[in-house]
Structure 1
Amino acid sequence: MKTMLSLAKFIEFPNIDNFSAPIFKKQFSLKELPQNAKLSVCALGLGYVYLNGSPITSDLFTAPVSDYSKTLWYNVYDVKRFLKVGENELCVIVGNGFYGWDYAYADFKGTPKLLLALSLDQETIFTDESWLAGINDSPVIYNELRSGETYDCSRGENFRLFGTKDYLPVKLSKNSPKGTLRECLCQPIREFEHFAPVKTFINRDGNTVFDFGQNVSGYLDITLAGKAGDLITIRHGEHIFEDGTLDHRGMNKHPFHRGHEFQTNKIILSGNADSPVFRFAYHGFRYAEIEGECEIIKINSVFVHQAVDKISTFYCSNELLNKISNCSDISVWSNMFYSLTDCPTREKLGWANDAVASAEQILMNFDSAPFFEKWLIDVFDSVTQDGNLPPIIPAWGWTTENYTGVLCTGIIFELPFAMYQSNGNKEYIRAAYPYMKRHLDWLLSNFTSDGLLSIKLGDWGGGDDFVSFTPVKFVDTALTIKYAKLITKVEEILGIINPLSQEIYHKIYNRFFSLFYDKKNEKCTVDTQTAVSMMICIKNDGISEGLIRQLTELVLKKDNHLDCGMVGLQYLIPALDMIGRNDLVYKIITATGYPSYSLWMEDGATTLYEAWNMKQSANHHMNSSVVSWFMKKLVGISQKIDTVGYKTLVISPYFPDELNFCEGNLRGTATAKWERNGKDIRYVLTHTKDVNIEIIVPDGYLVNSSINDGKYELIFTKK
């Protein structure tokens, strides 16, 4: 579809180094104020627009990231209030973002570019040869999204009427990306909570360290003063050593940062009270180490993420569960940057396996449909001609051979179907269906002669070295069975008649169970938590007593601890629920020692970690899938299987002996609260009028109920 931006031209600064942030400017005159003024902008990698010296929005880190060769996201703003009769000036400062990142995989890497159209009543101002650009007035003399920024306070923040000194005519971009222009309608990135330091101290190196008490994605809001020209260095980190120096736990040696400092901002002082504005890099941090002589007048950490609202709540009498829930929320928000990233520290990449693990609980707990609608386009863009997918979305040059597996590529099935289940919009699966089919065909083409699939990664994230204990061929084939079955569901929903899909599903299913299911003993031949859980979840003819005993013994053998990776965790919890062992789920989640969530909290975690051994990132969401169980079983509210839009809810709580009360709200549709009263449990439920309720009484309980105008009061009594 044609937009006003289609008539604009990408422009760039003619003689730029790789790391300065150029300023583009255009002066124009108005004889009268227009009735309408819409500004459309696509800055590669990131841009901030000022009109007559004022920022036109509080949105951050635009243009939204994408595979720029496929899609160019742009934003539209009403700027009428910034205009005046007479001379006006547009100024846009543009940084590298993910367009100009310093990494060999990105084949589109280039210098910052700007595409802009200001549409007025009778005219439109486009980016073209008439614009000017400069870098000598730019306060940002270095910017790299993962490494940081260098900000020269002597150059100031005055984006009004710079004049023409040292400004040059822009150059029209000859190698601008050819992606389709799309307006971004999802929630913007904004600033949220500001955290004051809870502790300040001097470390071994004589530098001042501020502990803000909360790990977040963002940057500092700082005002400082010192000698003009002095350099102040700010290093950001998630952990510290006993001597107060930053502990990056191996992440500062990541290949993304060769030749660059890690999570480091620098400030050149002006001699006055300076308040630098950081625009082009964000960090994952709880601690900030400041090196250099200066007076700190004000300092806070700023939590930055997309403005995606939390729409469900959870609270109970077990503080560990409350901490896990809160850490999950912060980790999800910390990774909402126009794609669902893995962490805000080292990579900032949209690892699809992490998204597969977290999608259900994010859709349950957050108003995330607009966020995922944008990212789903990026997912579609990532599908290769032969039907494969990369592990990272947008891919940015990561090939389909780098650290991938069905745990990653399954995003093409999992995300659109989960979105459909969440709000009932069939367009998600209708748009995804051709890509689902293409990828399933690709998976089938890679099956070996034994009727199994083994790509690369399997049950990633288990053990100290992240090695899977379950054979990759088991994991990849089991996931393919799930997705072959899902395609048959999608076809049924969309009214597509395709008998071949059923044939494919049954062929893979039968071969898999002939190899991995011991009919005589009714057990899985791969004796791991992951394998048995996956088999229980995909088995289509009932769960055998042998599988029930096998999974129970595997959990008890590990003293109610996890012995699996991220795939196993996604299937272990629902499998235990299916066999009626939610008592084991509760014990696993509340376990102490290694591995456990409790160990993370003892380490001072305020977000979820990447690794159980705590040696990697401290702000990952990939192990957050357990919080969906909190709502489904502890609060006791879940969506009925094979229904959509949360219109039919099942009330089926589990009451751990160790828990005295629990309460929660599911997406504004239903609220439940229960508490113990001797041997009885009083459970109160309210819901909106458009919701149907089905109640399943937990095993071992009797129930007395009363219903009054949509309010249920249930008294559960142990038999």
Structure 2
Amino acid sequence: MKLCVKKLLQFFAVFALLFVFNLTVFAQKLSVNDLKVEHLEDPLSIETLKPRFSWKINSTVKNTLQSSYEIRVGANKASVKAGKDLVWKASVSGDQSVLIDYAGTELQSKKRYYWQVRVKDNHGNTSVWSEPRLFQTGLVDSDWTAQWITVSGKDTSKVSPLFRKEISLKKEVKSATAYVTAKGLYEAQINGKRISDSYFAPGWTSYNKHLQYQVYDVTAFLKKGSNAIGVTLGDGWYKGHIGFAGQHNFYGDTRALLFQLEIEYSDGSKETVQTDDQWKSSNGPILGSDIYNGETYDARFEKQGWALAGYKEDQSWTGVRTLSKGKDQLVSMSGPLVKKHEQFKALKIIKTPKGETVVDFGQNLVGWVQLKARGAAGTKITLSHAEVLDKEGNFYTVNLRSAKQQNNYILKGAGEEVFEPHFTFQGFRYVKVEGYPGDLKESDLTAIALYSDMKTTGKFTTSNPLLNQLQHNIQWGQKGNFVDVPTDCPQRDERLGWTGDAQAFAATAAYNMDVAGFFTKWLKDVKLDQLPNGSVPFVVPNVIGDGSSGAAGWADVATIIPWDMYVAYGDKRILESQYESMVGWVKFMTSASKDNLWNTGFHFGDWLFYRPDDDNDGRAAVTDKYMIAQTFYAHSTQLLINAARVLGKKDDEAKYTSLLADIKAAYVKEYMTPNGRLISGTQTAYVLALQFDMLPENLRLNAAGRLVQNIRDYGNHLTTGFLGTPYLCHVLSKFGYDNVAYDLLMQETYPSWLYPVKMGATTIWERWDGIKPDGSFQTPDMNSFNHYAYGAIGDWMYKTIAGINAVADQPGYKYIVISPKPGGKITNAAAELETVYGTVKSSWTLENGLLKLDVAIPANTKAKIVLPGNTQEIGSGVYHFESKI
């Protein structure tokens, strides 16, 4: 009897375990993750009081769609989990899981909220509630009580000033939040520790129109009793050299700090510590710091413990001067901050023919070098930075123009010292070291990459190692030039937000990294710096003057990037916020036109197109600039029509549809013969005409044939520049010439995408022949080896080789088209993309004429698979397909 009871108990125990296991498995069939507010994880400074919520869905069941969701928001994490005292609670039917508008009680500024979500799917499964995530609303103007402070006298010194405040906290700290910004750049500490792992804050905006502040949770930095706050300022973009005309003090001549620390104690009481006339200031060891020229740091002037409580030497520090608020418009962060990323050990130390000591890091990158050294006090070590060595193997900096790109470190003579800059960055692969005491070893130097903190979203590989290196170069061109704003280059005396480069590359950028927040932030300045007549500057922020604006293919950034971001991320609000800017740009072109023909003003044209010395037979790659302008006039008008349709602006849609027809008719009348031949017979002329549907439909196929013949005439080489290159392979594929597109992509001789790869490039070059076959250089005044514009081919590589495509009428990859088109003797390719719904994967191999395709489609989306002779629609899940080709 006892045995039977024992066996019965064992049976029930096993049954209970199986039951619990099955419940667990069942619960895991559906879950939510990657919760975001306004594209950000746990943001501490949401500008809007009507934020938008997004999440991703994980499911182990194929064909899963969200059927409904529940969301709840409250000011307390515990109450949110309990479902009590909420500011918003909603239960909504539908499959929307991206950028859902807040619709609860009006939120308060400067307040933290928590939220969570759970979903049901079309299979009857319900997820568990997600763990609560947080967001914090930004400050309104009346929330600011801090005063701007600066040095006591006129701010004429190049030395970076230090600001200090010691405080005594009488109670236990429950929470503490710091709100910080500066005119210039800042680095803030509490009790000797940096309060953030970010750099170059507050970032670069059009400072004369708005200035960002950052918000930090500093609870862990404070303690009951004595505490100290320390902040260092640098010149940055605000006061330092900017542009290529030697200008400085562009936005102002006075560095200043605004710091507001809000503390809540365990007993519920609150206290605010802020910048005012009670702070103290002194000079520090940074003798000068300039973005173009580098930093000089004298360790002998370090003030040990200056950011710690109990620092007695501050008795000799001077007071500070408060500044009136003026017209400063403070706004919260909307994009990612710059942070440290990859680190590179020195590959080798070279002695050049000139006897220089040069360190090779093997990768052209943007950031700085961390240096370790031991030596006598006063020893000066100089690090100079360059992208390439010259033909003879010597250190080459002529292409930097006036930018010194040089950091100096002066030892204090106290054992091993470690140096890295604070308010500057360099673009480099090679570093020349001068004045180093003792024997320099590879382990004494580490290169550190810095760029905006964007998550990698795309991966792309093939069986061809040269293409893989090209993809590597595209990614590193993006990393090096996405340092708070999308710059043209990161090394010479320029580093500006050139609009033409950005619009050409935006679609590729959205494959490689999550650039939603990055471009949202920058587009605000595109709109703010736009002239009253609608013209858009060549660079944003605009530091080269209002007269430098309105160029075709550059100013069209106002329409192209908002639309690209809408398609990539499904963000309708970006169209809403930029719509006025889009309208303004089209209106400017219309006002500059006569009889719908835009043939006035300055234009860059097809910038840096291929121009060989002997190309004089009528096929020359010089494309009429006004002809190009007319195509972009049409393209921007079409994008405005698209935006109007999405936003439900039917009158505008009709108005600009009529305008577009007139623009195309004017193009045909002015630039095309009756049989479809264009007055400029270049690749770029035909590419833009076909990409933007400028020609009558019955003449397009013949025009594509002329484009192909031109490419064949040049020995399967491209001749396009900044404006034609992004669309070249897309047009070929559109008209059935994938083979020609592959011939161009796989071309290894100049001019081509793979020529720089064969020449050892690790980033994208500004010119097709930045280094000529004989080792000599192109025009040194404009020859960057880290310029991402030609990397726009990445868009075609993802879309056509891997076959991952978004659909504009269901943006953000809600509906996905997987349509790989093998070619170029590639035997396999694989890509993946982390979308706002989850990971899309496409991987194929060719074996004996059989195309084998593996795909992964995220939950809450659908996809169309397009293969030779086989097209079908599928839901979420993992699939395998095979097709003869």
**Structure 1, residues 669-690: CA drift from partner, whole Å, max 9, x if none?**
3212111221212112221232
Greater CA drift, 335-344 or 10-19: 10-19
Structure 2 unmatched runs, 5+: 1-138, 265-269, 614-619, 771-777
Q: Which amino acid aligns with 2:451?
A: H
Q: 1:179: how far off?
A: 3.5
Question: SS of 1:99's equivalent?
Answer: helix
**Structure 1, residues 232-274: CA drift from partner, whole Å, max 9, x if none?**
11101101125543212x42324xx4xxxx1000011111321
Mapped partners of 1:388, 1:332: distance in 2? 27
Matched, 1:172 2:322: yes
Residue in 1 aligned with 2:152? 14
Question: SS of 2:173's equivalent?
Answer: coil
Greater CA drift, 27-36 or 215-224: 27-36
**Structure 1, residues 17-41: CA drift from partner, whole Å, max 9, x if none?**
3421100111111111322211010
Q: 1:706 to 1:533 in 2, by over 3 A?
A: closer
Residue in 1 aligned with 2:578? 432
Q: 1:242 to 1:496 in 2, by over 3 A?
A: closer
Equivalent residue in structure 2 for 1:264, among 406, 409, 427: 406
Equivalent residue in structure 1 for 2:746, among 572, 590, 593: 590
Equivalent residue in structure 1 for 2:437, among 291, 294, 297: 294
Mapped partners of 1:46, 1:5: distance in 2? 23
CA contact (8 A) 1:403 1:457 kept: no
Greater CA drift, 366-375 or 159-168: 159-168
Question: SS of 1:696's equivalent?
Answer: strand
Structure 1 unmatched runs, 5+: none
Give the TM-score of the pair, scaled to structure 1.
0.93
Matched, 1:691 2:839: no
Q: Which amino acid aligns with 1:484?
A: T
Matched, 1:67 2:206: yes
Q: 1:705 to 1:537 in 2, by over 3 A?
A: closer
Q: 1:206 to 1:177 in 2, by over 3 A?
A: farther
Q: Which amino acid aligns with 1:41?
A: V
Question: SS of 1:24's equivalent?
Answer: strand
Residue in 1 aligned with 2:647? 494
Residue in 1 aligned with 2:678? 524
Equivalent residue in structure 2 for 1:555, among 711, 716, 721: 711
Matched, 1:234 2:383: yes
Alignment of structure 1 residues 567-606 onto 2, 5 Å? 567-606=723-762
Mapped partners of 2:744, 2:226: distance in 1? 67
Q: 1:450: how far off?
A: 7.9
Pick the structure with greater CA Rg. Answer: 2
Figure out how many residues of one structure are paired with residues of the other and give that number. 703
Q: 1:91: how far off?
A: 0.6
Q: 1:465 to 1:79 in 2, by over 3 A?
A: farther
Q: CA RMSD in A?
A: 2.3
Mapped partners of 2:785, 2:875: distance in 1? 47
Q: 1:77 to 1:241 in 2, by over 3 A?
A: same
Q: 1:4: how far off?
A: 7.0
Q: 1:5 to 1:67 in 2, by over 3 A?
A: farther
Question: SS of 2:365's equivalent?
Answer: strand
Mapped partners of 1:590, 1:106: distance in 2? 47
**Structure 1, residues 116-146: CA drift from partner, whole Å, max 9, x if none?**
11111322122121111111xx110111111
Residue in 1 aligned with 2:332? 183
Residue in 2 aligned with 1:113? 256
Matched, 1:280 2:423: yes
Q: 1:345: how far off?
A: 0.6
Matched, 1:124 2:291: no
Residue in 1 aligned with 2:541? 394
Q: 1:177 to 1:416 in 2, by over 3 A?
A: farther
Residue in 1 aligned with 2:691? 537
Mapped partners of 2:716, 2:657: distance in 1? 38
**Structure 1, residues 512-568: CA drift from partner, whole Å, max 9, x if none?**
11112223x233232111111111112265353321211111111111111111101
**Structure 1, residues 294-324: CA drift from partner, whole Å, max 9, x if none?**
1446211011111111112111101111111
Matched, 1:673 2:840: no
Q: 1:110: how far off?
A: 1.6
Mapped partners of 1:126, 1:349: distance in 2? 34
Q: 1:107: how far off?
A: 4.0
Equivalent residue in structure 2 for 1:252, among 353, 375, 400: 400
Greater CA drift, 307-316 or 450-459: 450-459
Q: 1:705: how far off?
A: 8.9
Q: Which amino acid aligns with 2:539?
A: I
Alignment of structure 1 residues 155-554 onto 2, 5 Å? 155-156=301-302, 158=305, 159-160=307-308, 161=311, 163-173=313-323, 178-248=327-397, 250-254=398-402, 257=403, 262-272=404-414, 273-295=416-438, 296=440, 298-346=444-492, 347-396=494-543, 398-402=544-548, 405-448=551-594, 451-454=597-600, 455-463=602-610, 469-498=622-651, 499-519=654-674, 521-539=675-693, 541-542=696-697, 544-554=700-710
Give the TM-score of the pair, scaled to structure 2.
0.76
Question: SS of 2:455's equivalent?
Answer: coil
Mapped partners of 2:612, 2:447: distance in 1? 33
CA contact (8 A) 2:381 2:433 kept: yes
CA contact (8 A) 2:145 2:274 kept: yes
Mapped partners of 1:671, 1:192: distance in 2? 25
Q: 1:707 to 1:44 in 2, by over 3 A?
A: closer
CA contact (8 A) 2:595 2:666 kept: no
Greater CA drift, 413-422 or 13-22: 13-22
Mapped partners of 1:202, 1:711: distance in 2? 54
Mapped partners of 1:242, 1:511: distance in 2? 50
Q: 1:638: how far off?
A: 1.2
